[in-house]
Amino acid sequence: MNDALTALEGRVHADLARIAHPDAAWLTPKLGPDGRPALDVLVVGAGQSGLATAFGLIRSQVTNILVLDRSDEGREGPWLTYARMQTLRSPKHFTGPDLDIPSLTYQSWHEARFGEQDWRTLDLIPRERWADYLLWFRRVVSVPVRNGCEVIEIGAAAGGLLAAQVRSAAGLDTVFARKIVLATGQEGMGDWIIPEPLRHLPSSLCVHAAQPIDFARLRGRKVAVIGAGASAFDNAATALEEGAADVQLFCRRAEIQLIQPYRWLTFRGFLRHFCDLDDAWRWRFMRAVLEMREGFPQATYDRCAQHTNFRLLEDAPIEAATATDRGVILQTPSGAFPADFVICGTGIDMNFAGRRELQNCAANIATWADRYRPPADEQSPRLGRYPYLADNYALMERVAGATPWIADIHVFAIASTMSFGASGSSINAMTTAVPKLVYGLTRGLFRADIERHWASFSAYDVPQAVVVRPATGEGC
């Protein structure tokens, strides 16, 4: 660690000490069925959103928490796994997990590591450096994380608690908590989409872009990439850079999406108050946003276009796919195209039943289709499958009373987008979304303990001062 980084860490601790008020402990752990204190909050996912949520809770004196992640330390989130862009797409000045603490921003860390001049000349943040920053952030604010732990089931437990079944190298364990936050990023409450015409293909011929891909094995081969969002271009570029003989990117739309709607909505009014709109307005906005593909920066396109063996095919939805001895034949309205390997950069879909951890409640999670019927010209079955969340990011029941305990499961992932706008897994909304989530969590914890707080208040008898009254003289 260099001297500048050591000094920065000292400044972080000093800053946090200066703004710690009110720092009084206000929670008393509940005992779980195992006789041990249950957690106040269990956070599932130690990526950027999980770390920011934990930090927000710690600042609110909710310290009896734990963050679990199934990945090894440093491999949380997409940055060193399936993210194949060279840099973040967010502008470098966007802040996130720091929650408006200047000394905790990426800029402060970058300047301490590489100097102020390097920051001034930096265009976009390299994803590997963002991953390094998140590890530093986790350590410097002391977020309690256990890696290699996967939550495989969530259910109700005695005493109004939740029980999370956790699998690790040590075996199975049960963690009891009053509340659980699912900070599980992109896949959150669903699964990656492989278009229906391709689903019968074996993984040796077709995978989703979020899966591990040995790009070195694609050298000299013909690769088809399905989709025209930013991640599709990233995967096409990676294949080209690894020596693929030919890469064709298939866009089902007549023209590729060049507008990035998330740039428009990144202002305080939208990020903070979108969730306060009625369902009609929320649906209208997010249908427009989510039915666009994510726009990509010029550098993302140029990374592909500089290769003469790259071809973009617009108005080319995949109608059928046939496996052959040599690979795959993809059928489009424009004709048939052979490929040795197919990569699907086609996003995610909501599928509660496919999430093992939600097996005890998947059938009773309320969706947008359950709560809102849009006009005929705004229909979208895919968006109707998103969970319809309460104002504290909590799951709601489809049938009231069947699974009341899901009100203590809070979703802070891509699945929260329909209810809250850009939030959960996005950097641009973090400084407004995390405080809103933490507010909802602390509100629930406080309300649940109101009888104890009243008893504590009623018994409070600590005097503020000692009053010495003058003696009263006789005969006065």
Task: Convert the pLDDT of each residue in 253-273 to its tens digit.
Answer: 988 888 888 888 989 999 999
Average pLDDT across the chain, whole number: 95
Which residue shows structure tokens 């599980």?
184
* Amino acid 423: pLDDT: 74
pLDDT band, very low/low/confident/very high, at 347 (cuts 50, 70, 90): confident
Task: Convert the pLDDT of each residue in 76-103 to its tens digit.
Answer: 999 999 999 999 999 999 999 999 999 9
Mean pLDDT within 117-124: 97
- The DSSP secondary-structure symbol of 204 reads T
Using CA atoms, how far apart are residues 359 and 312, in angstroms rounded to an integer? 41
Residue 252 has pLDDT above 60, yes or no: yes
3-18 and 127-140 are packed helices; what angle lies between their axes, rounded to 10 degrees? 50
Residue 239 has pLDDT above 90, yes or no: yes
* Amino acid 425: pLDDT: 74
* Amino acid 10: pLDDT: 98
CB 188 within 8 Å of CB 420: no
45: alpha, beta or left? (left if phi > 0; alpha if psi -120 to 50): left
> Which of 121, 119, 147 has the alpha carbon at shortest distance from 133?
119
pLDDT band, very low/low/confident/very high, at 233 (cuts 50, 70, 90): very high
Write the DSSP assignment of 239-277 as a string of letters: HHHTT-SEEEEE-SSSS-----HHHHT-SHHHHHHGGGS
Which residues fall within 8 angstroms of residue 204, CB to CB, at 6 or more apart?
none
Q: For residue 452, how far is the Cα from the chain centroid? A: 34
* Amino acid 188: pLDDT: 74
Mean pLDDT within 265-289: 95
Which residue shows structure tokens 């809070």?
410
Helix (H) or strand (E) holding 175: strand 171-182
Residue 186 has pLDDT above 90, yes or no: no
**Cα dihedral angle (268, 271, 275, 281), rounded to 10 degrees?**
90
Helices (H), 409-449: 417-420, 430-448
Least confident of 240-249, 367-376, 445-454, 460-469: 460-469
Multiple choice CATH, 3-189+349-451, 3.10.640.10, 1.20.1250.20, 3.50.50.60, 3.40.1390.20: 3.50.50.60
CATH 3.50.50.60 maps onto the chain at: 3-189+349-451, 194-257+293-345
Task: Convert the pLDDT of each residue in 140-156 to its tens digit.
Answer: 999 999 999 999 999 99
Q: In angstroms, how far is the first alpha carbon of the chain from the final one?
A: 76
Residue 355 CB burial class (10 angstroms; 0-12, 13-18, ≥19): buried
Mean pLDDT within 394-414: 97
Which residues fall within 8 angstroms of residue 248, CB to CB, at 6 or more apart?
222, 223, 224, 225, 310, 311, 312, 313, 337, 339
CB 312 within 8 Å of CB 256: yes
Please state which architecture CATH assigns to domain 194-257+293-345. 3-Layer(bba) Sandwich (3.50)
pLDDT band, very low/low/confident/very high, at 380 (cuts 50, 70, 90): very high
Using CA atoms, how far apart are residues 366 and 396, in angstroms rounded to an integer? 5
Residue 37 dihedral angles phi and psi, to the nearest 5°: -60, 130
* Amino acid 474: pLDDT: 60
Residue 426 has pLDDT above 90, yes or no: no
* Burial profile 235-270: b = 16 or more Cβ within 10 angstroms, e = fewer: bbbbbbeeebebbbbbbbeeebbeebbbeebbeeeb
Residue 296 has pLDDT above 90, yes or no: no
Other Cβ atoms closer than 10 A to 412: 31
Using CA atoms, how far apart are residues 384 and 415, in angstroms rounded to an integer? 11
Using CA atoms, how far apart are residues 40 and 55, in angstroms rounded to an integer? 14
> Residue 349 corresponds to which tokens in the numbers above?
């879909």
Residue 475 has pLDDT above 60, yes or no: no
pLDDT band, very low/low/confident/very high, at 473 (cuts 50, 70, 90): low
pLDDT band, very low/low/confident/very high, at 424 (cuts 50, 70, 90): confident
pTM for this entry: 0.95
* Amino acid 388: pLDDT: 98
**Cα dihedral angle (416, 262, 133, 2), rounded to 10 degrees?**
-150
pLDDT band, very low/low/confident/very high, at 189 (cuts 50, 70, 90): confident
Mean pLDDT within 351-373: 96
Task: Convert the pLDDT of each residue in 15-69 to its tens digit.
Answer: 999 999 999 999 999 999 999 999 999 999 999 999 999 999 999 999 999 999 9
* Amino acid 197: pLDDT: 97
